[in-house]
Amino acid sequence: MTQKLKNILKSKPFRKRFNKNNFFKKSCIKKNGKIMSLIIKNALIHSKNKTSINSVFISNGKIKKIIKANSTEKIKADKILDAKNKLLLPGGIDSHVHFREPGMEFKGNWKSESRAAAAGGITTVIDMPNNIPSTTTAKNLDKKRKIAGKNSLVNFGFHFGAEKGKLNEINKAKNFAGIKVFMGSSTGNMLLEEEKELEKVFKIAKKKNKIAVLHAEDEKIIKQNTENAKQKNWNNIKYHNKIRSTKAEVEAIKKALKIRKKVGNKIHFLHVSTKKGLQEIINAKKKGKGKISCEVCPHHLFLNEKDLKKLKNFGKMNPPLRTKKDNDFLWKNLLNGKIDFVSTDHAPHLKKEKQKKFFDAPSGVTGTETVYPLLLDQAGKKKMKMQRLTEVLCEKPAEIYGIKNKGKIQKGFDADLVLVDLNKKWIIKNSLIHSKCNWTPFNGIKLQGKIASTIIDGKIVFNKGKFNNKFRGKEIEFQKT
């Protein structure tokens, strides 16, 4: 260490800036204008179905080298983090979140929800467009990216919304993941259900080489079922699965596939929830030439309609919780690769909102903080291979959305990583949730495997329950897919 750097470390402005969180001092320092280097030693790294103890050398936010345990090579770094035989995995990519800002900051904001993501091992998020105002103009997208850049603790990107009367705005927007289409009504006013409008969006998506990302529920079926439910006074969460029925999902999927076949664009089905709906997608994939993909959410894997007796409206989301048979079919096809990846549809609402009567309570649950631990527990129980876990939460979202150099522990990739204590047994509790709403539908579930540290851009952002609040994530760049 040079004398000049020593003087900087001892200076009053420096000590004043970093005295609140001494652990993160070195991970924030720049040396000669460059980000300081880091070595993570004694880390268990899983590769090609094998796990071995290695070290990782990081500099300027990139993985520069993976050093085998028996190597005699000596590399110096400005900081050393001893993993103590914890498992080192790629940072998770949650490509489906609703961080609520701008417009609904009382539910959540970029600061609160990105902290939840970091605590859960998620290092990159892609935010949905149904804000207030909605992200359906290039101007609104630029405003949102400024808010995220100022407040997000994790890396971030955005989906752009398709709104009737504003479809020309898609051509003006820059650097976004996919074009979000609400075929069924949800939070916000972005419904787009007519075939001619959907065809217009699909043609724009094809021209821009972007994916149309679809909330596939048929609005006409939902409206008719809602009218019937109100006539019968079905003001109870147990009827949600009948209102937003399996048929509503299946018919919307069929409609989207029919239009896609005509146009030839890429489409991605969000939060697939039913056996019948997924089967339609699987059948179409066989002839889709790699242009059809889909995801599943943790609540549709781990919860079903039987949990609603306990959850009540805290289990209300769109599409709804389904049956155990649906759970099983989704799991089977997640493990065999027919479902491409997992995202959370993280959508916080306050407890007092959820405590309203069923028809008045909003739909949406949290998930970004708990998805990695839930899947780690499955891997620990040998119900899911570790390789498949990193594919569905890290590699595949990066691949499908064209996120360069993320999702793998590999030389040249971004140093977005998580350290996991595989032996740590714990219980998910509402009181532990960092999301502003402070609750989770997975409250009370016992797990083994906990996120110990989260590293983003080579900097320790979360460690042993503490955050590096000085750090800010970066906007990711989307490549052509």
Q: Is the pLDDT score of 342 beyond 90?
A: yes
The percent helix, strand, coil of the chain (3-state, each to 5) is 35, 25, 40
The range of the structural domain enclosing residue 196 comes to 91-401
Lowest mean pLDDT among 17-26, 79-88, 202-211: 17-26
Q: Please tell me which residue in 94, 340, 345, 377 is annotated as part of the active site.
A: 345
Give the pLDDT confidence score for residue 26 in this predicted structure.
43
The residues pairing with 57 across neighbouring beta strands, listed in sequence order, are: 39, 65
* Structural tokens at position 71: 């190597």
Chain segment 110-124, per-residue pLDDT in tens: 999 999 999 999 999
Asked if residue 54 is part of any domain, the answer here is: no
Residue at 214: amino acid letter: L
Strands 38-47 and 50-59: antiparallel
Q: Is the pLDDT score of 23 beyond 50?
A: no
Give the pLDDT confidence score for residue 188 in this predicted structure.
59
Report the b/e string of 116-135 with b at 16+ CB within 10 A: bbbbbbbbbbbbbbbbeebb
Chain segment 31-61, per-residue pLDDT in tens: 444 557 999 999 999 877 778 889 999 999 9
Q: Is the pLDDT score of 364 beyond 80?
A: yes
Q: Which of 119, 90, 124 is nearest to 465 (CA)?
A: 119
Strand segments (E) across 144-223: 155-158, 160-161, 178-182, 211-215
Average pLDDT of the segment spanning 170-175: 96
Residue at 210: amino acid letter: K
Asked if residue 241 is part of any domain, the answer here is: yes
Neighbour tally for 291: CB within 10 Å: 18
Answer whether 439's CB lies under 8 Å from 108's CB.
no
Alpha-carbon torsion angle 15, 20, 24, 25, nearest 10: 0
Chain segment 468-478, per-residue pLDDT in tens: 999 999 999 99
Name the pLDDT band for 27 (thresholds 50, 70, 90). Answer: very low
Instruction: Name the percent of the chain lying above pLDDT 90.
Output: 84
Instruction: Name the percent of the chain lying above pLDDT 70.
Output: 91
Q: Is the pLDDT score of 431 beyond 90?
A: yes
Instruction: Identify the residue with better confidence: 17 or 320.
Output: 320
Asked if residue 124 is part of any domain, the answer here is: yes
Name the pLDDT band for 73 (thresholds 50, 70, 90). Answer: confident
Asked if residue 201 is part of any domain, the answer here is: yes
- CA triplet 414, 420, 423: central angle to 5 degrees? 165
CATH number at residue 298: 3.20.20.140
Rounded to an integer, what distance in angstroms lies between the CA atom of residue 51 and that of residue 237?
45
How many structural domains does the chain have?
1
If you search the block for the tokens 């006539």, which residue do you land on?
A: 231
Name the pLDDT band for 7 (thresholds 50, 70, 90). Answer: low
Answer whether 340's CB lies under 8 Å from 396's CB.
yes
Give the pLDDT confidence score for residue 186 in this predicted structure.
65
Average pLDDT of the segment spanning 207-235: 97
Give the pLDDT confidence score for residue 463 in this predicted structure.
95
Task: Establish whether 345 is a catalytic residue.
Answer: yes
Name the pLDDT band for 70 (thresholds 50, 70, 90). Answer: confident
Give the pLDDT confidence score for residue 455 in this predicted structure.
98
Asked if residue 280 is part of any domain, the answer here is: yes
Name the pLDDT band for 255 (thresholds 50, 70, 90). Answer: very high
Strand segments (E) across 129-177: 155-158, 160-161
Asked if residue 368 is part of any domain, the answer here is: yes
Please give the model's pTM, rounded to 2 decimal places. 0.92
Asked if residue 462 is part of any domain, the answer here is: no
Cα 282 vs. chain centroid, distance in angstroms?
23
Average pLDDT of the segment spanning 214-231: 97
Q: Which of 377, 374, 364, 372 is nearest to 397 (CA)?
A: 372
Q: Which of 335, 326, 203 is nearest to 263 (CA)?
A: 203
Asked if residue 320 is part of any domain, the answer here is: yes
Cα 409 vs. chain centroid, distance in angstroms?
19
Instruction: Identify the residue with better confidence: 444 or 4.
Output: 444
Instruction: Identify the residue with better confidence: 188 or 59.
Output: 59
Give the pLDDT confidence score for residue 266 in this predicted structure.
98
Strand segments (E) across 112-230: 122-127, 155-158, 160-161, 178-182, 211-215
Mean pLDDT of the chain: 92
If you search the block for the tokens 């927007």, which residue do you land on?
A: 173
Q: Is the pLDDT score of 22 beyond 60?
A: no
| Helices and strands of the chain, counted as H and E runs | 18, 20
Report the b/e string of 381-419 with b at 16+ CB within 10 A: eeebebebbbbbbbbbbbbbbbbebbbbbeeebbbbbbb
Answer whether 361's CB lies under 8 Å from 313's CB.
yes
Lowest mean pLDDT among 51-60, 363-372, 444-453: 51-60
Q: Is the pLDDT score of 236 beyond 80?
A: yes
